[in-house]
Chain A
Amino acid sequence: MDSLEAGYGDIQVLWNVSIEVDRGEVVAVLGPNGAGKTTLLKAIAGLLKPRKGSIQLDGKRIDGLPPEKIVEEGVALALAEKELFPLMTVRENLLLGAFNKRARRKLDENLALVFSIFPKLRERQLQRAGTMSGGEQQMLAIGRALMTDSKLLLLDEPSTGLSPLLVKNIFEGLRKLMENKSEMSILLVEQRTAQAANLSDRGYILSNGRVVFEGDIEGGLNAQAFVKKYLGM
């Protein structure tokens, strides 16, 4: 992604943001609330049209394409708001993740993968998505994104609003996922810096819609101090 600018209506959120994710790499984007992290993911997935700059996937420009084409090109998104289908069952939500043609062919394989990463979803298959707890809904949102069989997985704050135990569950699931799908790239947006830093190969720090740091983010609790230093908090 190169010098991307995006926003809502008259309000510009992202300013000249350039980010790169290599194949099989896990990249974290850290930063406080309102830094533009979610906007960044929405722009990549085509839910927002970028105003300037370009987005490329494997050398092919995808900016300006409608969202369904971007899914076909191989980008999956799990938003913090989850955006599930509340009256459908867990299973139906997952099946819809595999709506694009490429994913339909690998439906059984990906469903087995999702169930192995989040066994809870297998138990809850026939429950309506709207009646599940926040943590289970988060698992379902990630599971549904995995069902799209993408090259690049965009994860928007998978830990938001969850108890520490559930956060641990989610991050364990992500670790399992990385072992199983080593060719898939992940762009992970987080406020909870320690876990995200542990999981990722590299990171960016976003503040007020601009990249203020890029490179290795030290693991563990140091990461928190590290981010604070860059954000001047």
Chain B
Amino acid sequence: MDANFLLFFLDGVVFGLILSLIAAGLTLIYGLAGVLNLAHGELLVICTVGTAVLLQAFNFPLPLALVAGILLTMGTAAFLEKILLRPVYLLEGEERVLLGLYMTLSFSILVHGALITSFPLAFLTINLPVATVDFMGLTVRTAQIATGVASAAILIGVYLFLKKTWNGMAIRSLTQNETGALIVGVSVKRYRLLVFLLGAFLVSLAGIIRSVVATVAPESGIEFTILGLLVTVLGGIRSVYGTIVAGLVIGVVYTFLVVFIGTYLAYVALLIFIIILILIKPYGIVGERW
């Protein structure tokens, strides 16, 4: 039981880190552009489907297919931001949020329909060369270790990017005070595009990492959007640090719920758990008020 407990916990951490990667982009885009991107999960699937199609139908080597998948996703995000969301930015406040919801939801439904009808069999599973390793007397799947380390490294990279680089500082300044950022010469338009590209990049990596531990299906976009939104809300909507903590909490709790009460009830129990947490801490689990 002890050994299993540890393995489930590890599973939960990996799942949580993947959720954090999805939600980090949602949080950044919402904080900076005022758009809650309901097509975010579809972006993940665009990457996995694109990669799978290149692998299956065109026999691309894996690294090339992955790079192409990521670029395709980032290109889609740029199209979404630059073309489809243009009217959204003419509005401010609640109106912008609402129109942003409509636009990204419509885009999400469109992408979902296009993918499941055009590429219904484009499942992505990436197998690592070595299946298991022995670690402190436990047999652990290599995939778990590799994906856990990779996602943690990416999240640390995001943190350092936001904290230490001029571009990262500019992004944080825009989420904290847009007028202040304009005064010091930060361009809103430029960084709006940049956070969409960054969000698409992170969600692509989340999709690829997920396909190492599980299979990602063409129709799973909505599920990832919903999980990403839950993490974002629980993390305090604008705080990337909160997003990472919330991702880990939801990942671990969900994994244990699946083990103890089964997949279907786990969702219900997870939602109840999140509702209670939000009732207790309405500004998110790290509690930063904006």
Chain A residues packing against B (C-beta within 8 Å) = 45-47, 66-68, 71-72, 76-77, 79, 81, 83-88, 92, 95-97, 99-100, 104, 144-145, 147-148
Closest 9 CB pairs of A and B: A71-B185, A83-B180, A85-B176, A67-B182, A68-B185, A100-B185, A68-B187, A83-B179, A99-B184
A81 to B170, CA, bound (A): 20
B170-186 near A? 1/0 per residue, CB < 8 Å: 10110011011111111
B182-213 near A? 1/0 per residue, CB < 8 Å: 11111100000000000000000000000000
A51 to chain B, nearest CB (A): 19
Chief secondary structure at chain B's binding surface? helix
Q: How many residues of B contact A (CB 8 A)?
A: 17
Hey, which chain B residues are within 8 Å of A92, CB to CB? 169
Chain B residues packing against A (C-beta within 8 Å) = 166, 169-170, 172-173, 176-177, 179-187, 288
Contact A86 B185 (CB under 8 A): no
Contact A47 B180 (CB under 8 A): no
Hey, which chain A residues are within 8 Å of B180, CB to CB? 83-85
Contacts between the two chains (Cβ within 8 Å), count: 66
Q: Which of A68, A84, A95 has the most CB of B within 10 A?
A: A68
Query: In the complex, which residue of chain A has the Cβ closest to the Cβ of B185?
Result: A71
A sample of 8 inter-chain contacts (CB < 8 A) reads A46-B182, A67-B182, A81-B179, A87-B288, A99-B184, A100-B184, A144-B184, A147-B184
Query: In the complex, which residue of chain A has the Cβ closest to the Cβ of B189?
Result: A66
Take A96-B169, A99-B170 as given contacts and tell me if A67 and B177 are in contact as well, using a CB distance cutoff of 8 Å: no
Contact B182 A47 (CB under 8 A): yes
A35 to chain B, nearest CB (A): 21
Contact of A86 among B170, B177, B184, B187 (CB under 8 A): B177
Query: In the complex, which residue of chain B has the Cβ closest to the Cβ of A147?
Result: B184
Hey, which chain B residues are within 8 Å of A81, CB to CB? 179
Contact of B176 among A79, A86, A100, A104 (CB under 8 A): A86
B238 to chain A, nearest CB (A): 9
A76 to B288, CA, bound (A): 30
Hey, which chain B residues are within 8 Å of A79, CB to CB? 179, 183
Contact of B173 among A46, A71, A72, A85 (CB under 8 A): A85
Hey, which chain A residues are within 8 Å of B169, CB to CB? 92, 95-96, 99
A85 to B168, CA, bound (A): 14
A103 to chain B, nearest CB (A): 8
A102 to chain B, nearest CB (A): 10
A76 to B170, CA, bound (A): 17
Hey, which chain A residues are within 8 Å of B170, CB to CB? 96, 99
Query: In the complex, which residue of chain A has the Cβ closest to the Cβ of B288?
Result: A87
Contact B177 A84 (CB under 8 A): yes
A113 to chain B, nearest CB (A): 17
Q: Which of B166, B169, B179, B184 has the most CB of A within 10 A?
A: B184
Contact A88 B176 (CB under 8 A): yes
Contact of A45 among B172, B177, B183, B288 (CB under 8 A): B183
